[in-house]
Structure 1
Amino acid sequence: MTTASPPSPQACAALRKALLHLHRTLVEQERIAYEKRHGRQSAGEFLQVMAYADEMRWLEPLSRLIVMLDEAMDADGDAALAPQAVAERARALLRLDRDSSDAFATRYAMYFDASPDLAHAHAAALAALKVQD
């Protein structure tokens, strides 16, 4: 029986960077949409919206994934395989399931279809996930 070796620190760092870029791209898309509805927001005002508005909760799965990866990268011993679990969750999260009624999947697909920047960030995240294999 063979066991998969944990991803290298470089592969984890590349995945983290790609997921952060994806998250930033989504936040920017969300800010554009929010400001169309509510008017221009300062950085501080929009940060409050991101932190507390129910309509922004759809981003939580991706935010949690990044935190999980950070924790996995900082862990030792038994947690050494945790980055693989994070990578599996990322693959599931980013699969563009247009039939899903999940809040993340629905909003993600909507922005993906409308934003070349998001499509590029998505491709970079998938490329970083391939390195995890």
Structure 2
Amino acid sequence: MIKRFLLAVVLILAAAPAFAVNPDEVLSDPSLEARARALSAKLRCMVCQNQSIDDSNADLAKDLRLLVRERITEGDTDKQVLNYIVSRYGEFVLLKPPFNVRTLLLWGAPALLILAGGVSLIIFVRKRAGQPTGSKLTADEQARLVELSLD
């Protein structure tokens, strides 16, 4: 009994992202719908920002899903649909922005941060290596050291 309940919960949770696309949005042609879903997965929800418009329940995401389907039914290619949406919302709407001069900092920032951290760590370690550790010898310890070195 518990296994069946857990299986039902897992199946419901696995289908959760599919709940974002409403039945009234689905195109009647399965091939066009597949294209629309593939394009929607590439576009960022401007409200949620970490979800594609395919996964988001926001009103703006719904409007963008409808716009994608409208452009597809008008005969646009996938590239034309993406270009149309990017021209209106900017490259931020793409979940994976292209690598170009404008997005160079976006793509290079992780490498720059790792490099800066590594250089900072090397500088910190070298500064600490030149500094003495511990405290100065007391007069008794200094005298004992002199005694030992004379022997």
- Could you tell me the TM-score, scaled by structure 1's length? 0.29
| Structure label with greater radius of gyration | 2
Q: From the two aligned structures, give the one with the greater helix fraction.
A: 1
The TM-score with structure 2 as length reference comes to 0.26
